[in-house]
Amino acid sequence: MYRILFLILTITFFSCNDGKKTEKQPLEHLETEEPKENPIEEPLRLSLDQANNLATLPLACLQVEYPNKLGQTLGGKENIGEPHELHPTFYGCFDWHSSVHGHWSLVKLLKKFPNLEKREEAKTKLLQNISKENIAIEIQYFEGKHNKSYERTYGWAWLLKLAEELHTWDDPLARELEENLQPLTDIIVQRYIDFLPKLKYPIRVGEHTNTAFGLSFAWDYANTVKDQKLKGLIETRAKEFYDNDKDCPIGWEPSGYDFLSPCFEEIDLMRRVLNKEHFDVWISDFMPQLKTKNFSIDVGEVSDRTDGKLVHLDGLNFSRAWVLYGLANQYEDYAHLFSIANTHVTYSLPNLVGDSYEGGHWLGSFAIYALDINF
């Protein structure tokens, strides 16, 4: 009985499948498709038209006092004053550090584009703001008892970037401005030298206090003016802070308010202070995926450019781009990163001119610096 039942079931099974046979799929269709390699693209470069547009951003805010975020610590009512009284040089563009890199933007554009449309207006405003008398008052503020850490280290970094740009600009205007700025530059250099030995741990955030960013710009200044004391201190601290770092969690980025990438800013610093052999070993532990030709990372998406914090992500796109451009320009093994940097720039660049003041007062500097690497 059981043999008969088994025979009936077997015949039924094969009968049902005779009409449902499908061709066997080739093995390659069952395998995961390999990601495509990034194309080797030319890095984006700033055109004169774009420079003219971007110059309108700092020109529109360097001498605009309000709205203003002072960020000061008051020791008493005698410390209260109008922004232009407290900071007669860097009072515009909403806050001190944005004003500093707004001045840097104009110097950079004047230096790189002799035919800039608003060249004379830019020169006039630079001379009005960066005067000996105004810088003397800025110094008084920094020497105040309650402001020893003012703008540490983001504003410090941009002040040294401005000083470096003036130092490398072969123009009589630059010599006058550099001389006027020099006493404040000297104070900022000394602030770095005093502070860095006391910093026990690096600050790994995506906003102003990021240590790697602050050290990168300071290194550039020290390297340019041949300040071996500052340069040596930065190299020592960078290695102590970051040399043993491994597996940076780039997948955790970005945070909602980031305008700097903690992972990428660290790379930007270490490519400066390490020689090629040392850097190759370090990056293989820290972020080996950058070496692969199919590396990719999505742009930071901005949902509301009228929100002063959410628009930070446009800044993140520019700062990521300057790290990728810098790495690809320094080492040809990373040329595949040009396309990713280009994508980040082209997402955010069209939104700057004519945008809300929340982004317009500072983002132009980030765009200029990102593209300046390719000049």
110-147 tens-digit pLDDT: 999 999 999 999 999 999 999 999 999 999 999 999 99
What pLDDT score does 30 carry?
34
Share of the chain above pLDDT 90, in %: 85
Residue 232 lies in a domain: yes
Residue 308 lies in a domain: yes
Residue 278 lies in a domain: yes
- For residue 206, pLDDT over 80 is answered with yes
For the chain, give the mean pLDDT. 91
What is the C-alpha to C-alpha distance for residues 269 and 362, in angstroms, rounded to an integer? 22
Residue type, 366: F
Count of positions (residues) in the chain: 375
- For residue 64, pLDDT over 60 is answered with yes
CA 292 to each of CA 36, 111, 243, 375: distance values in angstroms, whole numbers, following the listed order: 11, 37, 22, 26
Query: Mean per-residue pLDDT for 78-91?
Result: 96
CATH number of the domain enclosing 291: 1.50.10
**Which one, of 234, 237, 255, lies nearest residue 309 by Cα?**
255
Alpha helices in the chain (DSSP H): 2-18, 48-59, 83-86, 96-112, 119-129, 132-142, 154-167, 172-195, 211-225, 228-242, 262-273, 276-286, 312-330, 338-348, 357-360, 363-372
What pLDDT score does 36 carry?
72
Domain containing 104 equals: 39-372
Residue 11 lies in a domain: no
- For residue 17, pLDDT over 50 is answered with no
Residue 32 lies in a domain: no
**Which one, of 374, 348, 257, 373, lies nearest residue 54 by Cα?**
348
What pLDDT score does 40 carry?
81
Residue 25 lies in a domain: no
CA 63 from centre of chain: 25
- For residue 28, pLDDT over 90 is answered with no
Residue 13 lies in a domain: no
| Single pTM value for the model | 0.89
What pLDDT score does 39 carry?
80
Residue 54 lies in a domain: yes
Q: Which residue has the higher pLDDT, 124 or 28?
A: 124
Count up the domains in the chain and report the number: 1
